[in-house]
A and B are shown apart, each in its own frame.
Chain A
Amino acid sequence: MHFEYQVTGGDFTNAGSTSSSVKKTLKQLNVNPSIIKRTVVALYEAEVNIVAHAYKGNIYVDIEEDAIVISLVDEGPGIPDIDKAMEVGYSTASVSVREMGFGAGMGLPNMKNNSDKLTVTSEVGKGTTVEIYNRLQ
């Protein structure tokens, strides 16, 4: 099953709406609660990263019986050094974003901990693609 969502950069008010919707779908499918939790946490962090760091993005969700694949494709500044961005505590968040309680540099590490496979690709000046893969069984 395929779902698509849109995310607008800077719109913190609605950050999390995709996570809510995906969570509802997984509940309807009677997926194990701990897998739902993991998936939603990873997705939420990725969604917020688009809001915090990029201009806009699309989220594509594919759910099959054995697994869920979520691709977050954004248009934005991109990540120059992905390995560094993956480090715990690394953040380039602006002061205003930090004031909103984001910017602890925990997002990407959290995403990694809560997904079975995480792939980040990026092109500086163009955008970033994050792919979260979780087994559902």
Chain B
Amino acid sequence: MKKQKEFFYHALEFRQDLCMGCSHCMMKCPTEAIRVVRGKAILNADRCIDCGECYRICPYGAISVRQDDFEKIYNYKYRIVLMPAVFSAQFPDKITSDQIYSALLSLGFTHVFETENSIEFLIKPYNDYVRRHQEKPLISSFCPAIVRLIQVRFPTLTDNIMLIKPPMDVTAMYIKKRFEQAGIPWNEAGIFYVTPCAAKIAGVKSSVVEDGSLISGVINMNYLYNKVYREIKQKGFAKEDNAESGFKFMTRNSLRWSLTRGELRIVESDKKLAIDQIQNVIDFLEKLENEDTEDIDFLELRACYQSCAGGILCSGNKFLTTDRANRRANNTDNAALNKTEFEQYAPYIEDNCLLYGKIQPRSIIKLDDNMAEAMKKMKRIHEINAILPHVDCGICGAPSCQAFAEDIVQKGSDIKSCIFIQKILEQNDKLDILETVDLMKQTWDVGKLDKNKMKELNKEVNI
């Protein structure tokens, strides 16, 4: 088994040139991974789970999502695009799947497949897995942000995560097998996954798949959406076109898979639950850890509201996307599934779709590996907590007074960064005004404390 990476790869990038240090992202982060230092948001890589809540809330567009250079597709003779069903569901009704397919070919791809092509293959392994495993409830490993959330915040639940490869990897396996059987050398083929979110990128770059991901590159969905839309606008393309597409096994199950309750549909149990939106998931996992829940066999947990239709890189409105995906599913004829071809690949996929090893907990909650040391730190944190104001204003550069108390003990942050403590010290002549200005600059940089700038802005303000 390949050793799991020491550090998570992160696709979210904080741009120092655009960041205003407004602290919105810091207050929103579900794992308290962000601090403001010298006027800029700084990400703690050990804590970040790539859920993208910061990206959603940033008012200045200062957070971007890294992607591979599109030209990278030309490193390969066979250029395969792997797009999730929510991609085509972003487009207005008047644009057909055939047009999208033609546009993708016109943009340089040689083959077009949908990510959920392998869902029908996965139904049996999924249910076998649920039946065989005792560690209930089993938690789906589909959403990489959820897997990471559990690793860092709910380490006692890592054994509940299902060790089944995500559809993206299973579909890639299927494509590779098809290519090999057609005599195409695999090193000439590159698979490019179109991602709705940062989490999936991180999932590809530091994959839980032990033998390495078959995905050669990742393209952001909003980027490709714009490219495809423009291509269709400029070149037209026939609405109906009988070219052989790679949408081999798209059934109702596969079309709904990445929507909320999509996985639930295929699990044969009546004790199952689907939860979307990261805070809802956290609340539920808290309950689960206390064993304060009914018996549940299977949990579908997704970081985004409306699941992947609400991914941070989806351009369309999440409700319209969900509605279109559902309508496409309703209009899909399940009987069209090519039984012979299906049976040809099913055994191979069944044998190769499981993950081995273990998802390692990476607790961000423990104060120290050594318990005696952790206890000392905890006492210190309690003492500090008792004197902090608990208004969670964020002026110290930490998301809450509690987090600040922990930063003081863990990272040596200066308690004088708290504006309330500063006032008390000033009152007692323990701190003069110049020192407080210096302290503020350490967190908020010079820009926000530039009095000349203020004077210029408002001549009447006499400062």
Contacts and interface: CB of A to CB of B under 8 A. Distances in A.
A41 B156 contact: no
A8 B286 CA distance: 21
A108 to B, nearest CB: 16
Contacts of A101: 294
B290 A65 contact: no
How many of chain A's residues touch chain B, expressed as a range? 20 to 34
Contact of A27 (B287, B291, B366): B366
Given A41-B291, A44-B290, A65 B155 contact: no
A33 interface: yes
How many of chain B's residues touch chain A, expressed as a range? 20 to 34
Contacts of A23: 289-290
Interface string A2-33: 00000000000000100110011101111101
B292 A44 contact: yes
A118 interface: no
Nearest to B154: A27
Contact of B367 (A16, A19, A28): A28
B371 A136 contact: yes
A40 interface: yes
Nearest to A43: B290
A69 B291 CA distance: 20
A120 interface: no
A24 B402 CA distance: 13
How would you classify the secondary structure of chain A's contact residues: helix, strand, loop or mixed?
Answer: helix
B289 A28 contact: no
Contacts of B369: 30
Contact of B156 (A37, A44, A137): A37
A1 interface: yes
Given A1-B379, A25-B378, A63-B375, A30 B292 contact: no
Contacts of A36: 156
Interface string B367-391: 1111110110011001000000000
A27 B287 CA distance: 15
B368 A40 contact: no
B155 A33 contact: yes
B363 interface: yes
A40 B291 contact: yes
A115 to B, nearest CB: 14
B437 interface: no
Contact of B290 (A30, A33, A40): A40
B365 interface: yes
Contacts of B367: 28-30
Nearest to B381: A28
Nearest to A136: B371
A41 B288 CA distance: 11
B291 A30 contact: no
Contacts of B365: 24, 27-28
A16 B290 contact: yes
A33 B156 contact: yes
Given A19-B290, A23-B289, A33-B155, 20 more contacts: A16-B287, A16-B292, A19-B292, A20-B286, A27-B155, A27-B365, A28-B365, A28-B374, A29-B366, A29-B367, A29-B371, A29-B378, A30-B370, A30-B374, A36-B156, A44-B290, A65-B372, A101-B294, A136-B371, A137-B371
7 contacts: A19-B292, A20-B286, A25-B378, A28-B366, A28-B367, A40-B291, A41-B291
Interface of A: 1, 16, 19-20, 23-25, 27-31, 33, 36-37, 40-41, 44, 63, 65, 101, 136-137
